[in-house]
A and B are shown apart, each in its own frame.
Chain A
Amino acid sequence: MNTKLQFDFLVDKQKNTLTIKKEFAASRQQVWDCYTKSELLDKWFAPKPLTTKTSFMNFKEGGYWHYVMIDPDGQEYWSRLDYETITPIENYTALDGFCDASGALNPDLPRSKWDVTFTEKSGNCLVQTIGYYNSTRALEQIIDMGMQDGMTSTLERLDELLVTLAQK
């Protein structure tokens, strides 16, 4: 149904940025709500088969979202997103970070900055997300951690499962 909706994923290795563009068949207000209300974020933010649970949310400048993604084995991945600037239904910027269940940030890991822009596109909503990593070194630290933390292997297991199911 939504196969014609735009999805772009661009990597700039010189500048250490990720740019993700996605079109949604919904109004800008509705997509904005899905990004900024915790009860809606909980319904989509974790990639399947993981689930999201909000521990704390205060969507305002200087506020933050503290949440956990849980994999089917019960393994928890805690993060927090600190909101820096908010221009309702147009844009917000935030600092991403790895933390524990109490919300205390892991001081050994660098944080990345996210700049998220919502625009109208012929009745649909286009969301552009730019992720900035401070340096190649910062990005590498996050990559090293990602290789260890197992979330990606959860996704790989899902891929295998989907292949198995498709064969039946």
Chain B
Amino acid sequence: MDNNCNTLDSAFHALADPTRRAVIQQLGKGSATVSELAAPFDMALPSFMKHIGVLESSGLIESRKIGRVRTCEIKAKRLADVEKWFDEQRKIWERRYENLDSLLNELNGDKNEY
């Protein structure tokens, strides 16, 4: 319960700032690198990184560094992707097992004929 409130608090705090709101808006269109996100702002990179840090610790976005490039994305999108993938895995197993059910029926049917 407390934990939920803290998460909400930090999310509201994160969104109270216009720069951070703009970043969230931009990420809503898809993941982007920190330099892409920083481009529209007249701001030194260390200051911009502080905003990214606030968004990240609020749980609204996440970032990962590959080589020298840091890419950010909205976490809800990531969660939705994970949700979708599990749903598709479920479908794959359901279909696979439908096949196995009919194969076993077939094999048992054959056996009964002899």
Contacts and interface: CB of A to CB of B under 8 A. Distances in A.
Q: Do A and B bind each other?
A: yes
Contacts of B85: 143, 146-147, 152
B91 to A, nearest CB: 6
A45 interface: yes
Contact of B103 (A43, A143, A147): A43
Contacts of B6: none
A20 B93 contact: yes
Contact of A11 (B86, B92, B98): B86
A24 B89 contact: no
A21 to B, nearest CB: 10
Nearest to A125: B104
A86 interface: no
B95 A25 contact: no
A24 B101 contact: yes
A163 B53 CA distance: 46
A152 B100 CA distance: 20
Contacts of A47: 91-96, 99
A57 interface: no
B12 interface: no
B78 A24 contact: no
Contact of B104 (A24, A45, A140, A147): A24
A155 B103 contact: no
A30 interface: yes
A40 B110 CA distance: 15
Given A24-B101, A25-B105, 16 more contacts: A2-B101, A9-B89, A9-B90, A9-B93, A18-B86, A24-B100, A30-B107, A31-B100, A34-B103, A47-B91, A47-B93, A47-B99, A140-B82, A143-B81, A155-B92, A155-B95
B88 A34 contact: no
B108 interface: yes
Contacts of B99: 43-48
Contacts of B78: 140
A45 B96 contact: yes
Given A44-B99, A47-B91, A152-B88, A34 B104 contact: yes
Contacts of A11: 86
Contacts of B91: 47, 155
Contact of A143 (B82, B92, B97): B82
A5 interface: yes
A46 B97 CA distance: 10
A132 to B, nearest CB: 14
A13 interface: yes
Nearest to A1: B105
